[in-house]
C-alpha cells in the first residue's frame, strides 16, 4: 500500500503543508460546491449578526459555533461525495447510502443552527 510522500514531514514543514492543503480544500469547495457557497454566504451574514444581537459571550459563542458547524459538516459531506464519485459514478446502494447519510448530517447541523439561534434569542 502506498502512503503519501508528505507523511514523513514533521514540525513547521508539516504545519505549513497542512495549512496549504486546507486552503486548497476551501478553494475547491467554494469553486465546486453550490451548497458550500450558500452556507458561506449564510455565515457572512449570521456571524456579524451574532455580535449585534447578542451581547453575552456564551450566547454569541454558541451562535457562531453553530454556523461554523454547518460549514464543517458540509465540507465533510462534500469530501464523502467526491470520494464516492471517484470510486464510481454508477448507481449503487452503498454509494447512495453514503451520500444520503452525509446529506442528513448537513440537515441535522442546519436544524442545530436554527435551534441554537432560537434558544439564544429567546433567552
Which residues participate in catalysis according to the annotation? 74
Identify which of 37, 31, 97 has the alpha carbon closest to the alpha carbon of residue 70.
Answer: 37
From CA 69, how far away is CA 106, in angstroms rounded?
9
Indicate the SS3 state at residue 88.
Answer: coil
Sign of CA dihedral 93, 98, 104, 107: negative
Check if the beta carbon of residue 63 is closer than 8 Å to that of residue 50.
yes
In the block, residue with C-alpha cell 508528505: 6
Amino acid at each position: 500500500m502506498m502512503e503519501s510522500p508528505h507523511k514523513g514531514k514533521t514540525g513547521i514543514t508539516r504545519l505549513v503543508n497542512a495549512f496549504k492543503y486546507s486552503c486548497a480544500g476551501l478553494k475547491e469547495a467554494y469553486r465546486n460546491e453550490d451548497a458550500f457557497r450558500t452556507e458561506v454566504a449564510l455565515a457572512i451574514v449570521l456571524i456579524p449578526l451574532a455580535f449585534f444581537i447578542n451581547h453575552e459571550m456564551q450566547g454569541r459563542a454558541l451562535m457562531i459555533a453553530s454556523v461554523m458547524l454547518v460549514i464543517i459538516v458540509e465540507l465533510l459531506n462534500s469530501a464523502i461525495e467526491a470520494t464516492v464519485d471517484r470510486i464510481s459514478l454508477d448507481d449503487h446502494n452503498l454509494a447512495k447510502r453514503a451520500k444520503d447519510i452525509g446529506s442528513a448530517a448537513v440537515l441535522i447541523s442546519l436544524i442545530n443552527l436554527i435551534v441554537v439561534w432560537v434558544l439564544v434569542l429567546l433567552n
